[in-house]
Structure 1
Amino acid sequence: MKRYLYLWHRWLGIVACLFMALWFVSGAVMLYVGYPKLTPAEHLAHLPPLVLDEEGASLGQVLVAAATGQPPTGIRLLTVAGAPRYVLQYPGGRKVAVDARSALPAPPTDLQQALAAARQFAPGVAASDRGVVEQDTWSLSRALDGDRPLHRVAVADAQGRLLYVSGSTGEVVRDATANERAWNWIGAWLHWLYALRGIGIDGAWGPIVIYLSLGATLMAVLGLAVGVLRWRFGRPYRNGSHSPYQGFARWHHVGGLLFGVLVITWVFSGLMSMNPWKVFSSARPLSLAAYQGAALDAAAFPLSARQALQRFADDGLRVRELEWRMIAGRGYVIGFDGAGHTRILDMTTDRVLHQFAPQTLQQAAQAMAPEWAVQAEQLQAYDFYYYAREPQSMLGHLEQRLPVLRLRFDDPARTWLHLDLYTGAVVGQLDQPRRASRWLFALLHSWDWLPLLGNRPLWDVWMLLFSAGGLLISVSGVVLGWRRLGRSLRPGRRQGDRG
């Protein structure tokens, strides 16, 4: 039995150790340089103030112009390529843009519109066309599916950005700086095995990553077992050491004993990041439509966009984007400025609010699960399940503002909701499977633990030391595997040497 334990570890390691070495190197890069994305803060910071010189199209006209046979899930108004434009989002991610002056649907983005959008994003610098793509190395995210095809425009700003402009709305939806593009070749591109994407096997990419991670996890568990079995805790070996190995083998043995448990948790949590076999998917997520209480309809918004802008200006907010929301069947317009500050215009009372009353959002959320009791609490500080990360991290695009309203439902899935008091948005829905993902992925993989995150550089030291230990195990495993393969493939090898 022990022989098979060694053999399984050896041959799984020959395959997996090279990938693990790449994962540890690229993971260390990703601590500081993430995969390119346009965060909400960057989006707002690069928008000009929203100006409506004339009354323009009414919301009713916009909805008619964009009609797709179903109500939109979101409506925004912002400046696109120098002109005000409504952007409507529909189920499935489809987006439709409508000119705010003429109420005409915007045509598909052409080269001139893409260049104008880039100049608006980065004014005063040269912009040059880099072609149209469905996807490329820096635009593989499924979140961009509603914007494809994408126009690429390079701008000669200090960051050397490559901008991606939506083919459906004309907005800049992603930026990739020269620094991000350079580091990501040994960062996220390597870490997520994106070399397998875009070569005709995209459908196999997920299963390949899942089963490779599963094999690496099994290899690490077996390796720790072998390491313990081969370590003499009492009388040392003939060489005077508690390990029977020399050279790289000894480094591999000792490194595995020191960092083996951490390596197992890291590889396993990487597997969990893929949501294998949908183990973290919610069986019955609560309905956001019930939270809205009614479809987005012009009748719920008696004030025009121009009037809303004036209300916000009177309250001291210089708006860059407007968003229409339905909450419990009532209409609200949210105004955003360039720094992400917000105001709420209640269309029923014509009052400008700085925050929603918690009771308003709780009553709206109760409609999502009316048969179940709910407990409410207002968080004034981050905790294990609600916290912020740096923009470059995988979850860095999520806005986690404080205070936030947490609702705990007594439904079978024990669902928690986090509701943003500044916008009324449902920023998180955590049921039992998703809370399990918080433990098995976010905690074990990137150590999203407040005592570490709140005490930088303690988190950095821990993550880099951990990565160095994993790299030691992996690189020494690669060397040992290469040597073993060389002996196995050597011509004239004796039969007795096999195994």
Structure 2
Amino acid sequence: MKRTLYLIHRWLGIVLCLFMAMWFFSGVVMMYVGHPKLTPSERLASLPALDAARCCAALPALLAATGRTESPTAVRLTSVAGVPRVLLSYGRSEVVAVDGLSARRIEFVSAADALAAAQAYLPGSQASDQALVLEDAWTHSKAMEPHRPLHRLHMDDAQSTVLYVSSQTGEVVRDATGTERGWGWVGAWIHWLYPFRGGLLDGIWSEIVIYTSLAATVLALLGMVVGVWRWRFAGRFSSGSRSPYRESWMRWHHLLGLVFGAITVTFIFSGLMSMNPFKVLDSGAPKLAQRMSASERWHARHFGLSAQQALSRFAAGGFVARELEWRMVGGAGYFLALNGQGGSRLLAAGITSGDAAPFEAFSMAQMQTLGSALFPKNKVVEATVLNEYDTYYYSREPHTMGGGVKHLPVLRLKFDDPQSSWLQLDPRTGAVLNQLDAYGRVRRWLFAFLHSWDWLPLLERRPLWDIWMIGLSLGGFIISVTGSVLGWRRLQRKKRESMTRAQRVAAT
């Protein structure tokens, strides 16, 4: 039995140790340079102020221009190359763009229009190269699906930025600086096994990641078992060591495996959990979109005020809006305005709104009523106003997965449903930020904690978190490198033995 486990560990290591070394190295890179993305703050900072005097066509005309009979799920007014543009979402996979002034549908964004949008995003820069691409190394994200194909423009700014412009809306939807692209190749691109994306293996990419991670987890677990078996707890070997290995590579692999083996297992296993393999972390509870009642669905009848009136009222209150959203909150229509500094304001938009003034946030009582309506058959067992971050609601660096500014305060509601669901609601926007059931909270520990040590005592005490993460990653990296060297030597020895046998056979 022991010999079988030794052999499984040995041959799995020959195949997988290079992958593991790559994961540890690229993981450290991703601590500081993430996969290129356009953050909300970057996008809003690049936009001009919306001018009430120049905006906008009436909402019925904007809706009619889409040619759709069903209501959109979201409507947003922004600017493209300095011109107002309304973007209407239909589910997660389709966005229709309409010119905000003429109410003309944008059928396709030309190369010239894309260049204008890029130059508005980076004033004073020219494109040195421009192409239309369906997908490339930096645009595998599902968030890009409604915007494909993408106009890719290499800009001549100081950061050698590549911009991606949606061919459907004309918006800049991703920026990738030279630094992000350079480190990205040895960071996120290899960490997420993106070499297998975009080609013949694209359809089974998730399976490749899952089964490679699963095999690597088995390898690391077996390594811990074998390492303990080979360690002499009572007495010593003739060399004076408790490890039987005299050769330096084997000795270091054994000793470091005993010290860092457990953390190696947790890093690889938690990476596996990020993929939610075989849906083991799905509770089967209804998704948030399924819980939304008919009264929460978007409809034009809830918006009596025009965008022009709304912008005028925001401006009168001293708030300079760069984007405007028509949104439903608690069965009523509201405008949500966003500025370039991360601020927001709300305005009642119903026919009876009259002289309603902008306000900063809904009351927590209103948020609780909204959240409770999503669980009509269940009771709220706990309602908590979070005024500071905690284990399940915290902020991380913008370049990290799920990173970005998370505002406070928020309201957390806990329900007595079979899945022990929680809701977290943002009074600044009236949005339900997420639905987190018991399975989701387990995933938070199995992935976010074990993989990146999202633990407030560390996150709030940088560089302590950095030292901790780099130290653990370095241990796992050296284990993997020593395993790769041993595997290479094993293969070379097998090759020489095969050649020797062939020579003997030939000689006879």
TM-score normalized by structure 2? 0.94
Structure 2 counterpart of 1:46, one-letter code: S
- Tell me the alpha carbon deviations over residues 31-76 of structure 1, each in whole angstroms, 9 at most, x when there is no partner: 1000000111111111111124345311121112224332211110
The aligned residue for residue 50 of structure 1 is 50
- Tell me the alpha carbon deviations over residues 463-484 of structure 1, each in whole angstroms, 9 at most, x when there is no partner: 0001110011000000001111
Whether contact under 8 Å (1:65, 1:98) holds in the other structure is yes
Change in 2 beyond 3 A, CA 1:163/1:157: same
Shift of 1:315: 1.5
5 Å matches for 1:6-405?
Answer: 6-54=6-54, 56-245=56-245, 246-288=247-289, 290=292, 293-348=295-350, 349=353, 350-374=356-380, 375-397=382-404, 399-405=405-411
Shift of 1:205: 1.0
5 Å matches for 1:412-423?
Answer: 412-423=418-429
Shift of 1:292: 7.3
The aligned residue for residue 505 of structure 2 is none
Shift of 1:291: 5.8
Whether contact under 8 Å (1:322, 1:336) holds in the other structure is yes
Secondary structure in 2 matching 1:79: strand
Query: For the residues of structure 2 that align with 1:55 and 1:433, how far apart are their CA atoms?
Result: 46
Query: For the residues of structure 1 that align with 2:132 and 2:283, how far apart are their CA atoms?
Result: 36
Secondary structure in 1 matching 2:92: helix
Secondary structure in 2 matching 1:475: helix
Runs of at least 5 residues in structure 2 that lack an aligned partner in the other structure: 503-508
Whether contact under 8 Å (2:72, 2:89) holds in the other structure is yes
Find the partner of 2:431 among 425, 437, 460. 425
Q: Structure 1 stretch 298-307 or stretch 257-266: which is displaced more?
A: 298-307
CA RMSD of aligned residues (A): 1.5
The aligned residue for residue 476 of structure 2 is 470
Structure 2 counterpart of 1:470, one-letter code: G
Shift of 1:317: 1.0
Shift of 1:326: 0.5
Q: Structure 1 stretch 481-490 or stretch 269-278: which is displaced more?
A: 481-490
Shift of 1:492: 5.0
Query: For the residues of structure 1 that align with 2:175 and 2:283, how far apart are their CA atoms?
Result: 32
Runs of at least 5 residues in structure 1 that lack an aligned partner in the other structure: none
Secondary structure in 2 matching 1:53: helix
Q: Structure 1 stretch 273-282 or stretch 476-485: which is displaced more?
A: 273-282
Kindly indicate whether residue 417 of structure 2 is the aligned counterpart of residue 411 of structure 1: yes
Shift of 1:280: 2.2
Whether contact under 8 Å (1:294, 1:328) holds in the other structure is yes
Percent of paired sites with the same residue: 53
Structure 1 counterpart of 2:201, one-letter code: I
Whether contact under 8 Å (1:17, 1:477) holds in the other structure is yes
Whether contact under 8 Å (1:418, 1:426) holds in the other structure is yes
- Tell me the alpha carbon deviations over residues 196-239 of structure 1, each in whole angstroms, 9 at most, x when there is no partner: 11221101111111111100000100000110111112211011
Shift of 1:265: 0.4
Secondary structure in 1 matching 2:154: strand
Shift of 1:321: 0.2
Q: Structure 1 stretch 61-70 or stretch 388-397: which is displaced more?
A: 61-70
- Tell me the alpha carbon deviations over residues 183-203 of structure 1, each in whole angstroms, 9 at most, x when there is no partner: 011001111111111221101
Find the partner of 1:461 among 455, 464, 467. 467
Shift of 1:24: 0.8
Shift of 1:157: 2.1
Query: For the residues of structure 2 that align with 1:273 and 1:291, how far apart are their CA atoms?
Result: 30
Secondary structure in 2 matching 1:112: helix
Structure 1 counterpart of 2:494, one-letter code: S
Query: For the residues of structure 2 that align with 1:69 and 1:414, how far apart are their CA atoms?
Result: 38
Query: For the residues of structure 1 that align with 2:258 and 2:222, how far apart are their CA atoms?
Result: 12
Query: For the residues of structure 1 that align with 2:266 and 2:110, how far apart are their CA atoms?
Result: 48
Whether contact under 8 Å (1:292, 1:326) holds in the other structure is no
Whether contact under 8 Å (2:362, 2:430) holds in the other structure is yes
Shift of 1:413: 1.1
Query: For the residues of structure 1 that align with 2:377 and 2:32, how far apart are their CA atoms?
Result: 45
Query: For the residues of structure 1 that align with 2:49 and 2:143, how far apart are their CA atoms?
Result: 26
Whether contact under 8 Å (1:60, 1:297) holds in the other structure is no
Shift of 1:314: 1.5
- Tell me the alpha carbon deviations over residues 402-422 of structure 1, each in whole angstroms, 9 at most, x when there is no partner: 101111111111111111111
The aligned residue for residue 489 of structure 1 is 495
Shift of 1:494: 7.1
